[in-house]
Structure 1
Amino acid sequence: MAEAEIDYAAVFRALPGMVALLTPELVYADVNDEFARLSGRTREQLLGRYLFDVFPDNPNDAAATGARNLQASLGRVLATGERDTMALQRYDVESMERPGEWEERYWSPVNAPIFDADNRVKLLVHRVEEVTELIRARGGQQGSRARVLEAELYTRARELQEVNERLREAHAREREVALALQEAMLPAPGPVGHHRAAVRYRPAVGSLNVCGDWYDLVDLPGDRICVAVGDVVGHGLRAACVMGLLRSALSAASRVADGPAKALEVLGLYASSIEGAENTTVAETCIDWDSHTLTYSSAGHPPPALLRSDGTVEFLDQATDPPLGARAEDVDRPQATAAFTEGDILVLYTDGLIERRREDIDAGLARLAASLTRHRAADTEGLADTLLLELLPAAGATDDTALVIVRL
């Protein structure tokens, strides 16, 4: 017997709890019947309207925080792609029958993301349990003592929310300091020898998810340069400081070591003495224009991409070893060589450009290769901007991203 086709639109309308679908701009895309009934608004009064135009905070209550807390929760879902469950909220609603009068209401919300084919958040599911009657009934049954306790709990919840806001502000200040430190330590865009590279750094969204990634370009004797990208585990000021130490050490090692594998071996020894440097990933590629060769080695890092003039993309993945501190130091790191022709393009990047939650890394590499092939005619600066625009989530990445592009 064939299965009957399910009318999911009808299922959504008939769900017994309050559910709304919001766009990333927090505009109502759809609501089920229960949401319209319990919110006291018709579908016409909701659809296409900004959430906080329909449900602002009570202007008569200076301590009202419902709208602010809900906006923060929805922002976290957009930024992280993770579900966010909110504490019980008092969020008063203006009476439709008596404009200007506000009804005391209590809600228990959960917000969750819906992703599109590119793993970007395209909708937000806003599920709400209306518990006003439960709160009132509990107060009536248990008497004045219970009412006092309820009020105290609500007050403590508000105080906790205020503490969380202060913590977020402190984290935001740390982010500003870390970004300033990051900017000071990363080399400014400019020519290396008589060659020029397009470089980009994009910090992650959120107050702490920043400052583990770096890039570097080193001018070598002859018509040669070394290009490196790396990613320190962790975030914030500590990661920024570790990043600065490792970038400087690799830059120095690359000038004297016999190839990128030896430079990474030296860096691994140095990293073992630095707290927080373990499991750092690094990829380095040395470009020799006289011999038209790329010599490369990777410590657990995503492979550099070589965009050929004919549009094909080759990932340089024949010399990959574990990250720093995750291998026996008495074993030589691998090194490989690839030939290039004039007009080819070398791309080094960190995992923020390609990795997405719940997705195999091969999907991200394929997405990068397709974008490179489509835009191979662009100059390096234009190509760098296009890759970031196409490959990073529209709502902002949850990991920072470093990118270096060199036309060979």
Structure 2
Amino acid sequence: MLDSITAFFKRILAAIGRWLGLVFVGLSWPFLAARGWYRQGNWLLKLPVVALVTLLALLYIYFVWQTQIWTGFNPSYPDVYKFSERKFSAGQELPAADGQQAAATPNSCQTSGIVDVAADLTDFNVNQNAWISSMLLYKLGLFGISWDDTPFLDNKASFQRGVNLVVRRTSAELVDTIGRVRGTSGINGDLQKARGNLQFDESSWYFGMHPFGPKTPTPSYYRAAITNLRNFNTDLGNCKAIFDGRADNLLQFIDHVSSDLGNTANILADRSQKYSYGWFDMRADDRFWFAYGQLYANYGILTAAGADFQQVIAERNVGRLWNDTLGMLQAALRIQPMIISNGPEDSSFMPSHLATMGFHLLRVRSNLVEIRTVLGGR
């Protein structure tokens, strides 16, 4: 038994050694091939090459730094908003401050926590951090191979895309249902602009091939969406915008969130079942971190929704279920393995982190479906 275990680890180490050797050869051969040409060239040729190599080195240092440093990452970030201290649902008129006459003060209404979190998550993606998916070196890949097909430098990009999926969905819900009284009011202009900006292509750089020519990069559109969302909340705080906090709007919002979670769980299950290569599955890490980003964003959005729809939640008596769901999201966000493994579910050596994340996704989704049932049953 001991001999078989020793032989198993020897095979793993040998495979890793061969793989690292191939990677080293692949990375070094262009430089070795160019060495002879460079030594024979004159300085008119050497100086541009030196400048180009220096520029690429600086770009790669910046790129690696941005992919590895996650500024502002905090799985407990919803606590900063102190939503539990809010006494009014979003859009409700606030009473005048003590000692002030109601007639002498302008109307003020409760702003939306959902809008605040959506704007801050986008700020986290494109201002506190670089938006990885549209960076030139990310688009170029590793010698033409997409970074998503390698185990390197793609985790943050996948996480950001998971966050952005939730923000996009939220912006659509705000435009279509929550930010208007259906049938009696028009679409809010700021929310409409925010949705349009957030739907923009995630990988656009300053120049593109389809179509050919200069482009506005993705982060510029997302930064514009932040401004649009904050403008809406300013108008809402001045009672000049609408937040329709009805139970059917919350029900539809939850329905779409649970649908997105179910889709991601299916993607994880498919990858887990068909490509259970343990530590050697090159796509397991980006699948995992996309799902993690989705849960990260949903934790903040659903915490905010609990405050924005607090009257509905109290009337329908779903407070316990809601808090249970947030607790499940907290538990899921505590899973942060250093190396993502996609092994067989019964493996003793290479765990299945995708199956684990899929389990947590389905737990949250199950609770959301139960909340939806309660909301729709009355």
Provide the TM-score with structure 1 as the length reference.
Answer: 0.27
Which protein, 1 or 2, shows the higher relative CO under an 8 Å CA cutoff with sep ≥ 6? Answer: 2
